[in-house]
Structure 1
Amino acid sequence: MNSTLHVYALCVLLLFGKMLFISCYQGFFRIRHRVFTNAEDARFFQRQALPQELPQVQRAARAWANDLENIPLFFVLGGLCLALDTDGQVTAMLLCLFTGARVMHTLMYLGGWQPWRTMAYGVGLACLLAMAGLVTARIFPAAG
């Protein structure tokens, strides 16, 4: 296994852990405050189902939704970079930078900290664009 693949695998695991954290974060607030919107969950805890989630759960759900718009693109573009054997150092740097940016984005989102959340989002987006550029360069090499 090459080192870029190791980096990619580590980044995938970190992003998995981050998304698992968001799920646990939501569950923690629901259980701690015993506030549930699903009738079966509320019944299980002998509570009344409420029409709206807690603010912390809503915020975490929006962070999760943002992840679902960005992280699958990372998986695909990162996989294509590996399959097309793009520059290993550049690819590894982009993989790590994207992963760090997504972790920071989640922390900034949960904390409600601007402009840091937007900056982290922008760094992650720039990494995706750069990976797309690497893939494009391998698919359409400059005419020699």
Structure 2
Amino acid sequence: MVDEKVFLWINQDLLECYALYVGILLLKCFLMIPHVGLSRVYYKAPRNPEDGAIMNVKVYTNENVERIRRAHLNDLENIPFFIAISFLYLLTDPSVEPTKWIIRVYVLSRIVYTILYTVFKTIWRIPVFEIGLFTNFYLCGSVIYHFAGKF
């Protein structure tokens, strides 16, 4: 349990929800690292000549590996912004249950996006990505609106 004296201005339930789901997002990002590497080995698609020498193959680009790599890159381009803006959102003293659902929806959208992009290779990844994107826009707008009147 987090010391309530440190985070008096953040609802305890929201802070714990935030910690859980940020942990899930970070684990997802970390798991993509070996996933990319192992897919390079599986498809015999090394990125560097020295890696190809070990596998006795030439460097080439495999679309399956590239999809996994791009999904990981997409996580690295989007998840840090969510982590930052959602923490700032917690400072606005938001309603507990809607905020929990906002966090859950974002995390679910990132997981589903990766599955749709790397496994099913479907265009449906775009609206799922947009759910996460619009979640971040909402959080940004809410934070700006809340704090803009204070200056």
TM-score, normalization: structure 2? 0.81
Residue equivalent to 2:121 = 112
Residue equivalent to 1:25 = 35
Q: For the Cα contact (< 8 Å) 1:26–1:56, is it kept in 2?
A: no
Offset at residue 27 of structure 1 (A)? 1.8
In the alignment, structure 1 residue 37 sits paired with structure 2 residue 72:
no
Quick check: 36-45 or 123-132, which moved more?
36-45
Offset at residue 113 of structure 1 (A)? 1.3
Offset at residue 68 of structure 1 (A)? 2.1
Provide, for residues 27-71 of structure 1, a one-character-per-residue CA deviation record: whole Å limited to 9, x for no partner.
2222223331212322333x2341x33211101111122222211
Provide, for residues 3-23 of structure 1, a one-character-per-residue CA deviation record: whole Å limited to 9, x for no partner.
111111111111122223322
2:73 corresponds to which of 46, 61, 65: 65
Quick check: 32-41 or 9-18, which moved more?
32-41
Q: Distance in 2 between the 1:93 and 1:44 partners?
A: 47
1:6 corresponds to which of 5, 16, 29: 16
Residue equivalent to 2:107 = 99
Provide, for residues 108-134 of structure 1, a one-character-per-residue CA deviation record: whole Å limited to 9, x for no partner.
1102112x2011111111111111122
Extract unaligned runs of 5+ from structure 1.
none
Extract unaligned runs of 5+ from structure 2.
3-11
- The CA RMSD over aligned residues, in Å, is 2.0
Equivalent pairs counted in the alignment come to 139
TM-score, normalization: structure 1? 0.84
